[in-house]
Amino acid sequence: MAGEADLSGEWAAFAPEWIERMAAGRDRAREGLLDDWMLEVVGDVAGRSVIDLGCGEGRFCRMLAARGARTLGVDLQPAFVEHARRLVGPSETYELGDLQSLTGVADASFDLAVSHISLVDVPDEAAAVREAFRVLVPGGRFVVCNLAPMATAALGDDPWVRRPDRSKVHYVLDDYADEGPRDIPFPSGHRITNHHRMLSTTINGFLDAGFHLRRLHEPLPDEAQLARVPDNEDLLRVPIFVIYDLRKPH
């Protein structure tokens, strides 16, 4: 299993490409689906204090700040934090940190925590969830967008069964109970370690930390989103993502 050093090293090599990809709007899942869903689920953030766990190069922090939030973005990769600081706005702060141990972040100091496809990168998801619970005020919310466990079970060079003409027959779901790291290829040749966990493992981890599950969403693109990013049509066949809307009790 990839530890902190491995995770940081993998993303250090991939960071320049990732930053350029985000700046160019070439992430079809976020641009064509998930940003809309996440912004709708988090709702009105004006005047709210928000911690973005695994903020990457800061794009979602900037989106929340533009809607009136005071944001702290935390990421393990120095290149991302440095890039985010170059673009920082007046209500944004970025810090280098490990989601599994938010050293220096005070208890009960944020109204909202978000994780926009970052828990899948974390070796110890339960520790990261406990830290999110700790830093939220009573009644605070934790909104998590992650790869769906049905999808992470099949991650690999090609998760589709294909016909001889390369058309897609169906998505592979296999070895679902075999939890652990998965090697994810990108077109450039970079490979990143993600972690597959069963749905029960993730939900029970939220409940064990003390969260209440308010809603669970499986984002699918609507007609307007498909018109914007037609390649996302496959997402109507397979629920690749899931959003958990959680609350810390009062």
Q: What pTM, to 2 d.p., does this model score?
A: 0.94
Are the CB atoms for 131 and 99 separated by under 8 Å? yes
Mean pLDDT in order along the chain per 10 residues (250 residues): 61 89 90 96 98 97 98 96 96 97 96 97 96 98 96 81 93 90 79 93 98 98 94 91 98
Q: How far apart are CA 93 and CA 189, in angstroms?
A: 32
- CATH architecture of the domain with range 4-147+195-247: 3-Layer(aba) Sandwich (3.40)
Write down the pLDDT at residue 1. 39
Q: Which residues of 127-152 are buried (b: 16+ CB within 10 A; e: fewer)?
A: bbbbbbbbbbeeebbbbbbbbbbbbb
Write down the pLDDT at residue 206. 98
Write down the pLDDT at residue 107. 98
Of 91, 46, 94, residue with least CA distance to 70: 91
Write down the pLDDT at residue 198. 97
- For residue 54, what are the CA distances in angstroms to 9, 95, 116, 193? 15, 10, 7, 15
- For residue 20, what are the CA distances in angstroms to 15, 134, 165? 9, 34, 33
